[in-house]
């Protein structure tokens, strides 16, 4: 009844020629990009799209919410049209939810988790911001927000850089000797284990790449191609993971859709010592492709489903080389569930060259103890020009400029961005777990941060003040 009255009032006022005053500004057109444009994408001025947030206090990450527990769908925050995300009370059933929406033209399109978080479709005639406001006064609604769009955090780089300086820097091509993570020294002690599962929540991965094929996760309880959900997990033929973007088991669709995921995968776990191409941080690992992004962008709703899948299928570490400046309570709740499962999440700090203590980037800014936020450094141990930073919101840095890695079709190319630095830390976490499998997420996080090389340029720009050192970590 509440919704019917609201809609009637909205229509009545509009007909009289006096549109209802909006609390929120109209949504802008075009994608929000966290840094320089991706290949083939145009972007408006970065300065014109900045979103200012209140500063972090007491060393906590920045979290910004609207009033009354609702996320503010203001301008500069792109989202999916004709739908919203709604967290209903866990004390009510699906029939009650349907009753609350009855007569409004809204309906539940998808239930995202067991806690009554739903993707709700709204009528084409209703604006997203109006739909969010309509639900504001309903006691059974904990929060409602747009289904925001997030983007990968890669920086395009066409340079032909043919050595993996981040693993071992010899000072060639203008680099600085030992401005690296000391990987060869670490590999004298450990090279990884196929028992460690890393979920790549991202684009898809080229499963046939000769440097990746042997390290792709295989669902042991699923029979390939029989059209049956053998393990009863709700996903048919999810032999190597799941594609939440397209809703199928094909986790690699094309070079155009899945380059970013393939690049990230190569940094984590390209097979080592196989006389082919490059070496990942972990020579032996199981990378689980959990696709929710294609061609650089994906939705919060699909990210939530992807995170749920990674947890349910046994991931020990989750890599998230993506993000945006829009706060999502729904996405934070999903990462809280990952925390409850005791899993470390490694996230990119973003590519806007900004201080995220005051200019938040999510998910890296969620104030959750299982999140590691990673900045990028160049081959001289300087903070990369594009990298975000933050004395309380960014934990450490890792190599992220001109990183040579795998690309679809069996090839290799340079890759830059905090998308590239993040998998260095993810791979390091996986390597540490191969040596000490019983580490909790908090112990693993502490070891990584305590093992960094102190770097002058990072002293006031990260929590640890340092850059990843793999040898120190494995020796600890």
Q: Angle formed by the axes of helices 329-340 and 300-312, to 10°?
A: 10
Task: Round the average pLDDT of the chain to a whole number and report it.
Answer: 84
H or E segment to which residue 7 belongs: helix 2-15
Are the C-beta atoms of 375 and 461 separated by less than 8 Å? yes
User: Residue 12 above 70 pLDDT?
Assistant: no
Residue indicated by tokens 């992004």: 293
Please, are residues 195 and 253 in contact by the beta-carbon 8 Å criterion? no
Q: Which two tokens stand for residue 298?
A: 């994906």
How many residues are recorded in the chain?
476
**Whether the predicted pLDDT of 358 surpasses 60:** yes
Provide the residue ranges of all domains of the chain, joining segments of one domain with +. Answer: 2-147, 172-475
From the centroid of its chain, how far is CA 68? 27
> Across residues 145-171, what is the average pLDDT?
67
pLDDT value for 341:
98
pLDDT at 15 over 60: no
N-term to C-term CA, the chain: 62
Dihedral sign (CA 355, 360, 361, 365): positive
List, in order, residues 6 or more apart from 127 with CB less than 8 Å away: none
Global pTM reads: 0.79
Active site residue 55: no
**Cis peptide bond N-terminal to 444, omega within 30:** no
Active-site pick, 130, 180, 202, 237 = 202
Q: Identify which has the larger pLDDT, 158 or 427.
A: 427
Paired residues of 374 in beta bridges: 348, 396
- Among the listed ranges 54-58, 224-228, 456-460, which one has the minimum average pLDDT value? 54-58
165 or 31, greater pLDDT: 165
Active site residue 54: no
**Angle separating helix axes 418-435 and 255-269, nearest 10 degrees:** 40
Give residue 276's pLDDT.
84
pLDDT band at 153 (very low <50, low <70, confident <90, very high): low
- Catalytic (active site) residue 419: yes
Span 315-326, mean pLDDT? 97
Residue 292 has pLDDT above 80, yes or no: yes
pLDDT in tens, 85-101: 999 999 999 999 999 99
- 419, 421, 434, 464: the catalytic one is 419
**What are the tens digits of pLDDT across the range 118-152?**
999 999 999 999 999 999 889 999 999 999 999 88
For 215-242, what is the mean pLDDT? 97
Q: 172-475: what CATH class?
A: alpha beta
Query: Which among 151, 209, 260, 361 is annotated as catalytic?
Result: 260
Which CATH code, of 3.40.50.300, 3.30.360.10, 2.60.40.10, 3.30.70.80, is assigned to 2-147? 3.30.70.80
Which three-class secondary structure state does DSSP give residue 290?
A: strand
HSE value, Cβ hemisphere, 13 Å, CA-based, for 349:
38
- How confident is the model over 6-34, as a mean pLDDT? 31
């Amino acid at each position: 009844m509440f919704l019917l009255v609201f809609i009637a009032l909205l229509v009545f006022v509009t007909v009289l020629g006096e549109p209802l005053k909006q609390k929120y500004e109209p949504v802008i057109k075009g994608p929000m990009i966290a840094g320089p444009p991706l290949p083939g994408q145009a972007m408006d001025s970065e300065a014109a799209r900045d979103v200012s947030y209140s500063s972090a206090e007491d060393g906590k990450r920045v979290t910004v919410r609207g009033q009354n527990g609702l996320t503010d769908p203001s301008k500069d925050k792109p989202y999916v049209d004709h739908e919203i995300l709604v967290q209903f009370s866990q004390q009510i059933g699906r029939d009650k939810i349907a009753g609350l929406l009855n007569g409004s033209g809204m309906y539940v399109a998808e239930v995202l988790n067991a806690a009554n978080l739903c993707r709700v479709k709204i009528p084409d005639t209703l604006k997203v911001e109006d739909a969010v406001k309509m639900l504001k006064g309903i006691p059974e609604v904990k929060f409602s927000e747009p289904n925001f769009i997030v983007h990968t955090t890669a920086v395009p780089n066409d340079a032909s850089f043919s050595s993996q300086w981040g693993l071992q820097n010899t000072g060639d091509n203008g680099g600085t000797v030992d401005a690296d993570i000391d990987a060869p020294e670490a590999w004298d002690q450990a090279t990884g284990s196929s028992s460690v599962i890393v979920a790549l929540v991202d684009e898809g991965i080229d499963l046939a790449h000769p440097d990746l094929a042997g390290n792709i996760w295989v669902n042991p309880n699923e029979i390939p191609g029989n059209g049956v959900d053998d393990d009863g997990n709700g996903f048919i033929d999810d032999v190597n993971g799941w594609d939440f973007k397209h809703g199928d088991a094909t986790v690699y669709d094309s070079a155009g859709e899945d380059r970013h995921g393939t690049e990230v995968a190569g940094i984590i776990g390209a097979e080592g010592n196989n006389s082919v191409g490059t070496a990942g941080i972990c020579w032996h690992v199981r990378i689980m492709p959990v696709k929710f992004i294609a061609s650089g962008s994906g939705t919060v709703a699909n990210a939530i489903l992807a995170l749920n899948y990674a947890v349910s299928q046994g991931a020990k570490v989750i890599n998230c080389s993506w993000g945006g400046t829009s706060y999502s309570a729904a996405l934070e709740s999903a990462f809280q569930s990952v925390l409850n499962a005791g899993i470390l999440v490694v996230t990119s700090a973003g590519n806007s060259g900004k201080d995220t203590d005051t200019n938040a980037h999510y998910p890296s800014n969620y104030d959750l103890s299982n999140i590691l936020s990673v900045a990028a450094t160049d081959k001289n141990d300087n903070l990369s020009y594009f990298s975000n930073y933050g004395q309380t919101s960014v934990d450490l840095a890792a190599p992220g400029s001109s990183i040579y890695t795998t690309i679809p079709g069996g090839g290799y190319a340079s890759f830059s961005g905090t998308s590239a630095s993040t998998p260095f830390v993810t791979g390091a976490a996986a390597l540490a777990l191969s040596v000490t499998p019983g580490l909790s997420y908090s112990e693993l996080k502490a070891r990584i941060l305590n093992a960094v090389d102190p770097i002058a340029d990072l002293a006031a720009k990260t929590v640890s003040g340092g850059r990843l050192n793999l040898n120190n970590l494995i020796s600890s």
